[in-house]
Amino acid sequence: MLFGSQIFILNGIPRFYEVPISSGLFFSITGINFVLLAFFNEKTNFKNIFIGCLCLALSVACRPTYIFSSLIIIPFILKRFIENLKNKKDIVKNVLVVAIPYLTVGILLMYYNYIRFGSFFEFGAKYQLTVNDMLHLSNRFATIWTGLICSLFSIPNFIPNFPFISNHNNLITFYGYYYIENMVGGLFILVPICFWIFKFPFILKKINNKELIVFITMLIFDGFLICILSVIMGGSMQRYIVDYGWMFVLAGICIIIEHINIFKSNEAKDIIKKLFAFLTIYIVIINLCSGIVSEKSFMKNNSPEQFYRIKYMVNFWE
């Protein structure tokens, strides 16, 4: 989960671009964790729901894209609200612990947008000083398949020397403009456990835990939704993957564990466990190398002493 989240890419080039993305990632995962913890027992823990919703609301303050992370908890909150509605208990409390964090952060954000940009609903898109003008991009729906392949399935450039992988801007032929910069590789290639999401429909009927089915479904749906929106609104960059990559990784982990539990044969379980172990080692190594490469070889160019010290420790034959 740690290495697959692409957080090492952000750690490898800690600038003002990466700070809000990593902050949003922290608040999203923390918020979902608290909300799910609230439903582990029969008696709802409203304190955990409040903290979880507050964290999820704060993630939007870091980066508007993270508003879609809240979709993951909606089925669980609705289910508990309907149960309380039937039992006629804690209805007001149920509404307030969810509404207050979102309304408070939302109102503060709208006020901030107004005093800075003159509009309650302007998050600064009109004031971007970047090479990618998101306001005047055209024919964006035509780029969806190109963006999905580039962001999720592009093959890394492997090299014979440390850090054994390099950035590239290679793209399948596309008649038009599509923004891509310094991709290390697609998420599913860097974190192959994500491929297990395609196994989900085949084992769906064998999973007894309905909450887990809903959770995995929301992770996959949300992951593809944010990925497509990123492609349409921006393009493909390794740091964009951090917004949704953890959703595919977590879904893949859940599915592969359920896959192991479904098998009755110990031999089959052992094979899957060994494959899981191999994939974990691969994910740790390739994503650690990706973090060292980072965007625009940041570590090599800005911390050459540390970079070459690590290089000659690894490349002992040089």
Asked whether residue 287 carries a pLDDT value surpassing 90, the answer given is yes
- pTM score over 0.75: yes
1 assigned to some structural domain: no
Domain with 199, as residue range(s), is 7-314
Looking at residue 181, its pLDDT comes to: 81
Looking at residue 4, its pLDDT comes to: 93
81 assigned to some structural domain: yes
pLDDT confidence bin for 71, thresholds 50/70/90: very high
Looking at residue 262, its pLDDT comes to: 86
Asked whether residue 272 carries a pLDDT value surpassing 80, the answer given is yes
Query: Strands 157-158 and 236-237, how do they pair?
Result: unpaired
Q: Rounded to an integer, what is the distance from CA 259 to the centroid of its chain?
A: 23
70 assigned to some structural domain: yes
114 assigned to some structural domain: yes
Query: Taking residues 40-63, what's their average pLDDT?
Result: 89
Q: Which of 71-75, 126-130, 153-157, 223-227 has the lowest mean pLDDT?
A: 126-130
pLDDT confidence bin for 117, thresholds 50/70/90: confident
Q: Tens digit of pLDDT for each residue in 14-25?
A: 888 889 999 999
Looking at residue 125, its pLDDT comes to: 65
Query: Taking residues 240-261, what's their average pLDDT?
Result: 93
83 assigned to some structural domain: yes
pLDDT confidence bin for 127, thresholds 50/70/90: low
Phi, psi of 6 (to 5 degrees): 70, 15
The number of domains in the chain is 1
199 assigned to some structural domain: yes
207 assigned to some structural domain: yes
* Terminal Cα distance for the chain, rounded: 33
> SS3 sequence, the chain?
CCCCCCHHHHHCCCCCCHHHHHHHHHHHHHHHHHHHHHCCCCCCCHHHHHHHHHHHHHHHHHCHHHHHHHHHCHHHHHHHHHHHHHHCCCHHHHHHHHHHHHHHHHHHHHHHHHHHHCCCCCCCHHHCCCCCCCCCCCCHHHHHHHHHHHHHHCCCEECCCCCCEECECCCCCCCCCCCEECECCCHHHHCHHHHHHHHHHHHHHHCCCHHHHHHHHHHHHHHHHHHHHHHHHCCEEHHHHHHHHHHHHHHHHHHHHHHHHHCCCHHHHHHHHHHHHHHHHHHHHHHHHHHHHCHHHHHHHHCHHHHHHHHHHHCCCC
Query: Taking residues 231-256, what's their average pLDDT?
Result: 92
pLDDT confidence bin for 120, thresholds 50/70/90: confident
2 assigned to some structural domain: no
